[in-house]
Structure 1
Amino acid sequence: MTEKEKTKSKGQAKGQSKGLGKGLSALLGSTDKEYSTIEKGEAAPPRPDRDLPIEFLVANAYQPRKVFDEDKARDLVESIREKGILQPILVRPKGPDEYEIIAGERRWRAAQAAGLHRVPAIVRELTDGEALEIAIIENVQRHDLTPIEEAMGYQRLIDEFGHTQEMLGKIVGKSRSHIANILRLLALPKNVQNMLLDGLLSMGHARALITADEPEKLARRIIDEGLSVRQAEKIAKEAKGPKKPLETKSRDSRGAKDADTLALENDLSESLGLKVQIDFQGEKGGEVRIQYKTLEQLDDICQKLSGNDEF
């Protein structure tokens, strides 16, 4: 590589790092307009950088999708067998004769099944964070992720790359409250998360399960009886029973909180997604304490209290 090419490469990498958190087109750069627009359903095909031997490509370590639809896969294989790959696969170099797929793993799998030996590819130098961002953006725009896959992808960006909920909202074009509500799904029991992962439950069902006393039991009933979202919400609400008015006395003779206070604490905790404590102090009134760990959680509380949050 010449000195001029090295300088150009460094400039591109610097520009891409500045694009972090600004969407797919910013991450890929203005020269890849064709790739970013086709994700929105436009017809203009992107221009591949080169054709790569199919064995040079490896699966994406940051692929947010865990389940691949077999029926859709078969249809894609037939399409590729007849017309070839119309949209190049986005990859990044990983080593000598090795490229990691960032977007287009399903096309790569189908190309192998169709017997192709080479595939068109767009090659870009991307960081791990940018690779995960693009993988999530592509799948969200195509509506290819289950709610739990979407939540797991967002959580990984938060844990591994320091993204905030506000940054995630800008990346995928969603409201911050949507991001917050999706992330709440990760508090569900693992078995229920697997049901969402397998597509057995919808996002609407998941909202009802988050507030249910026995989410796994209700989830199995939803599947077995084919319950609608409205039916699931009604069952979850009825299971909690009518809310009782609070009495002035919130503790029994042993100093423990009474059942009504504990129930209200639990309801508020589930609603906010944060720990809430209520402490009555007789005629003096009392205190409500909401515990948070991050500034994003504090911001969520402020939004809800001010009535500016979608929920």
Structure 2
Amino acid sequence: MKSEDYPGKPKPAVIGLRKPAEIPAGAPSSAKGRAAMLEKLDAKNVEPLIGELITNDQALQEIQLSLIDVSPYQPRMVFDAVAISQLAESIGEIGLGKPILVRPLPNGRYELVGGERRWRAITILGWDTISAVIKPMNDDMAMLLALADNEHEQLTDYELARSYDRYLKNGNDKSQSAIARRLGINRSVVSRCLDLMKLTPAIREVLDQHPGLITANYAKKFVELAGKHQHIVERQVLSMVDKGTKQEQALRQIAQKISACSNPVAPAFAPRAVVGIGTMKLSGQKLELKCQDGINPNLVMEQFEEFLKTVDPTKLSVVVES
């Protein structure tokens, strides 16, 4: 009888089984079902933040929404109303997957440090309380955590620039390298974003309303051009809002306008009548003669050539002032 354990005998395949992800109640194809599933996945993605924050000096509890004040360090300038509404719908279906982060204030109220989108969504739902991590912290830490909390939904470069600039002015760290190290990002990211803070006040007023209009990749070029041609750049930035012009196209248009201003075309003078012949007009370096009806232009050109032979060219030179 042949052995059942002989060399080269095919081994049975190993099939790994994994428990499938839990699907929220409701029809999987419905918008609510998809939103609920994404909410649970989102909660898993940010779970480390909760684990890092729950320490001995803080507590997780339900607090009244009416006792919460928004953070003065919130970097986000524009909140997508549609996205907040969808988040509210999701939370209404499956609950709040991640608590917000607040710090206690001396007056008995709480300042929102992280989770303003969730707080806004629950406000829409009309709930009286919200699950919150209460953590005592100074302003320095509140600024840093406000930035870290928004990593899940990307901030614009200008929103980041404002927060970096505020932290460098008011926080404990006074260098770009220090803030980059605290946030775990490359220093060049901080530096390029901060170029946006060098734009003129008029341009920054536009970015306050449209923070995604100019990105860090193009900030330095806008700054350089605005330093030499401020009004041209400021008008073009306003045009970007009105016409939806993209950054690269806007920079090309700025360059064209600067070139036109540097090399202006000589104005065209009004036509002068030449009695019995037609009209004569000067436009830049061109002298144009238009013959009236009945005048042969070939004969006029012959007469003009004969006249030019009698002219002294030295008396027609442009006088250059020293």
Instruction: Give the TM-score normalised by the residue count of structure 1.
Output: 0.58
Aligned residues: 205
Aligned counterpart in structure 1 of residue 163 of structure 2, from 153, 156, 161: 153
CA contact (8 A) 2:60 2:132 kept: yes
Instruction: Write the deviation string for residues 122-156 of structure 1: whole angstroms up to 9, x where unpaired.
Output: 111111000001101222x1344332221111111
Q: CA deviation at 1:237?
A: 4.0
Question: SS at the partner of 2:194?
Answer: helix
- Aligned residue in 1 for 2:244: 226
Q: CA deviation at 1:227?
A: 2.9
- Aligned residue in 1 for 2:233: 215
- Aligned residue in 2 for 1:165: 176
The AA in structure 2 aligned to 1:107 is R
Aligned counterpart in structure 1 of residue 192 of structure 2, from 181, 204, 210: 181
Structure 2 CA distance, aligned partners of 1:142 and 1:208?
Answer: 29
Cα pair distance change 1:45/1:176, threshold 3 Å? closer
Structure 2 CA distance, aligned partners of 1:69 and 1:142?
Answer: 14
Structure 1 CA distance, aligned partners of 2:80 and 2:235?
Answer: 27
- Aligned residue in 2 for 1:281: none
Cα pair distance change 1:92/1:79, threshold 3 Å? same
Question: SS at the partner of 1:102?
Answer: strand
Question: SS at the partner of 1:67?
Answer: coil
Q: How does 1:260-279 map to 2 (within 5 A)?
A: none
Question: SS at the partner of 2:235?
Answer: helix
CA contact (8 A) 2:157 2:212 kept: no
- Aligned residue in 2 for 1:41: 45
The question of 1:201 aligning with 2:213 is answered yes
Instruction: Give the TM-score normalised by the residue count of structure 2.
Output: 0.56
Question: SS at the partner of 1:91?
Answer: strand
More helix by share: 1
The question of 1:105 aligning with 2:116 is answered yes
CA contact (8 A) 2:195 2:220 kept: no
Cα pair distance change 1:225/1:54, threshold 3 Å? closer
Aligned counterpart in structure 2 of residue 85 of structure 1, from 68, 71, 96: 96
The AA in structure 1 aligned to 2:205 is N
Structure 2 CA distance, aligned partners of 1:130 and 1:170?
Answer: 14
Which piece of structure 1 moves more, 230-239 or 85-94?
230-239
- Aligned residue in 2 for 1:249: none
Question: SS at the partner of 1:159?
Answer: helix
Question: SS at the partner of 2:130?
Answer: strand
Alignment gaps of 5+ in structure 2: 1-41, 52-58, 263-322
Question: SS at the partner of 2:137?
Answer: coil
Instruction: Write the deviation string for residues 5-24 of structure 1: whole angstroms up to 9, x where unpaired.
Output: xxxxxxxxxxxxxxxxxxxx
The AA in structure 2 aligned to 1:182 is C
Q: CA deviation at 1:238?
A: 4.3
Q: CA deviation at 1:209?
A: 2.1
Structure 2 CA distance, aligned partners of 1:185 and 1:211?
Answer: 11
Q: CA deviation at 1:46?
A: 3.8
Question: SS at the partner of 2:105?
Answer: strand
Structure 2 CA distance, aligned partners of 1:99 and 1:161?
Answer: 21
Question: SS at the partner of 2:245?
Answer: coil
Aligned counterpart in structure 2 of residue 53 of structure 1, from 44, 56, 64: 64
The AA in structure 1 aligned to 2:84 is A
Larger Rg: 2
Percent identity, aligned pairs only? 27
Instruction: Write the deviation string for residues 213-271 of structure 1: whole angstroms up to 9, x where unpaired.
Output: 232112123334433333233334445559x9xxxxxxxxxxxxxxxxxxxxxxxxxxx
Q: CA deviation at 1:103?
A: 0.2
Alignment gaps of 5+ in structure 1: 1-37, 245-311
The AA in structure 2 aligned to 1:223 is V
Structure 2 CA distance, aligned partners of 1:159 and 1:43?
Answer: 31
Q: CA deviation at 1:81?
A: 2.2
CA contact (8 A) 1:148 1:185 kept: yes
- Aligned residue in 2 for 1:260: none
Q: CA deviation at 1:61?
A: 2.2
CA contact (8 A) 1:102 1:134 kept: yes
Structure 1 CA distance, aligned partners of 2:167 and 2:47?
Answer: 31
Structure 1 CA distance, aligned partners of 2:202 and 2:86?
Answer: 31
The AA in structure 2 aligned to 1:235 is Q
- Aligned residue in 1 for 2:147: 136
